[in-house]
Amino acid sequence: MPNHRGADILARALARAGARQLFSLSGNQIMPVYDAALDAGLTITHVRHEGAAVHMADAWGRLTGEPGIALLTGGPGHANGIGALYTALASESPLVMLSGHAPLNQLGRGAFQEMAQADMARPVTKASFTARSAETLGHDIARALRIAREGRPGPVHLSLPFDVLENAVNEPHQFMPDEDSFYAIAQTLPLATATALLGHIENAGKPLIITGPMLASHRGQNLRDQLSRAVDAPVLCMESPRGINDPMLGVIGDVIAEADLIVLLGKQPDFTLRFGVPPAVSKQCRFIVVDPDIGVLRQTIANLGAQRVIMDAVADVAPAIQMLIEAAGKISIKTNTWIKSVADAAAYRPPQWQKETALQPDTVHALEIGRAVQKILDDADDPVLVADGGEFGQWAQACMHAPTRLINGPAGSIGSAIPFAMAARVARPNATVIAALGDGTFGFHMAEFDTAVRHRLPFVAVVGNDSCWNAEYQIQLKSYGGDRTVGCELQPGAAYEKAVMALGGHGERVTRAADLPAALERAVKSKLPACVNVMIARMPAPTVSRAAADGGAH
């Protein structure tokens, strides 16, 4: 074995970049990287499915702000990870997916697991490319990390041909990238532009600033709060596939329809904003668009109509906010009572939710679960909430909250909850992590409880078990009738808690709301990966409206 290989360059570059945590599933094509990781001091969290590794890297990116690193083998391993990239792309989450690859010198000859991997990953990444030499591997890593971070964050893919990893490198220090090359140069908002933008906000009667999912993190929340205080205008983050109907945002659609100026900070007027057209947005409403991507900016203007966009600028979101805060300190901003109306709309929940209980025997209402889980989150020093799934996932988002929250994002995918929860424990070892997920979601990565046990990553999975793919069931019920539901049934009352116990975790089964608080407390105190399997009735996701106060919870 040569003293220095391409794999050593790769591992040392990752260490120099500070990316010392890898999420991976082993395989033939990446064994040189595993070997090199030992000398570079890289830590590998080894999972049971490649999709879980990518989801963990996604969650790491959201929680830390630094790109997560997923390391997969080539061919089918690479293919298994691709689906999870879309969740990260839609959620604007920085990560780099490294995939083993057939040797370059065997391509076109029927090499083992030969596949056009970069082409496969390109539609769900910001960039996707294949390394070409051992000497340039360090710079390839720097490029991938830089692209993942810059502008609108997102996933990047880099394939690693086996011969590139194995090839010898003389004097490897000559091929290491400078530390600055791992980072992008920020696109700032000029002070004059920021001042002009604030002038439009000042002159508006009901201005609203909307950001995308890149500011959904705890750090993003702090930045949004600072901006709102500085300019005395409401700042809203949209990260749910339900958009205006996101149950976490209460009746926010009511006030969005009243806004006379909407500032889109890195937020596209897509399906979540009903494309910015009436009746979701007033005909009289005007837009200001600030986006890090000139192509997205131009498309946004074209979609909204140039006559509705009164100002636009290319800038990265966080630096733009910092400049707006600085500019606000130099001018007089009027007090805006509109900000309270927006906050009240987002916080609104039907009053009867406080007392809603299950109507069917041996079941627990989703709101009863929410009240019990919220007590755990409120009592924790560092709570993290993961919410995932169809109908039950929407109930969780509507009635549970924590300073740090991870959801599936605008992609509308499900299945990421368990990997997200594990990554939260890796990133924040002392956090209390609660994952609220449906039984359908639970099945995607149930085997990752083995990963959580092996790596000592305790969290509590609270499973809303209605023995059904309930989102699809509700669609079929509404659209076609109860006698035409098909493909929605799951095993009645499946004992998921026993599966977790068999893998070395803690398990609880709950059929009565009165038993839930104690079961949750035991799960937390077990300090094991835990499953609290709660039997619930099938019900549609909540639709939060002030009218619902007179007519039930959904």
Tokens of 60: 């790491």
The per-residue pLDDT for 543 is: 85
Q: What is the mean pLDDT of residues 512-531?
A: 98
Q: Does domain 351-550 have CATH number 3.40.50.970?
A: yes
The per-residue pLDDT for 333 is: 60
The per-residue pLDDT for 247 is: 87
Query: Residue 235 is which amino acid?
Result: V
Task: Give one DSSP letter per residue of 196-230, joined into a string.
Answer: HHHHHHHH-SSEEEEE-GGG-SHHHHHHHHHHHHH
CATH class of 6-182: alpha beta
The per-residue pLDDT for 337 is: 82
Indicate the pLDDT class of residue 436, thresholds 50, 70 and 90.
very high
Contacts of 448 (CB under 8 A, 6+ apart): 47, 48, 49, 52, 418, 419, 422
Report pTM: 0.95
Tell me whether the CATH fold assigned to 191-347 matches the one assigned to 351-550. yes
Indicate the pLDDT class of residue 175, thresholds 50, 70 and 90.
confident
CB atoms near residue 456 (< 10 Å):
11
Indicate the pLDDT class of residue 172, thresholds 50, 70 and 90.
confident
CB atoms near residue 429 (< 10 Å):
11
Question: Given a cut of 70, is residue 433 above it in pLDDT?
Answer: yes
- What are the sequence ranges of the domains in the chain? 6-182, 191-347, 351-550
Q: Calculate ∠ Cα 529-534-536, nearest 5°.
A: 150
C-beta of residue 212 within 8 angstroms of C-beta of residue 58: no
The per-residue pLDDT for 330 is: 72
Looking at 3.40.50.1000, 1.10.3720.10, 3.40.50.1220, 3.40.50.300, the CATH number of the domain 191-347 comes to 3.40.50.1220
Q: What is the mean pLDDT of residues 419-444?
A: 97
Question: Given a cut of 80, is residue 420 above it in pLDDT?
Answer: yes
Tell me the per-residue pLDDT of 324-353, one tens digit each, with 9 for 90 and over: 999 998 766 666 789 999 999 999 999 999
Comparing C-alpha atoms, which of 384, 385, 388, 386 is closest to residue 431?
384
Percent of the chain at pLDDT exceeding 90: 90
Q: What is the mean pLDDT of residues 162-190?
A: 91
What phi and psi, each to the nearest 5 degrees, are found at residue 36?
-70, -30
- Collapsing DSSP to helix, strand or coil, 501 comes out as helix
Q: What is the mean pLDDT of residues 363-389?
A: 97
Tell me the per-residue pLDDT of 472-505, one tens digit each, with 9 for 90 and over: 999 999 999 999 999 999 999 999 999 999 999 9
Question: Given a cut of 90, is residue 132 above it in pLDDT?
Answer: yes
Q: What is the mean pLDDT of residues 314-324?
A: 97
Helix, strand and coil percent figures for the chain, each rounded to 5: 50, 15, 35
Tell me the per-residue pLDDT of 215-231, one tens digit each, with 9 for 90 and over: 999 999 999 999 999 99
Count of positions (residues) in the chain: 554
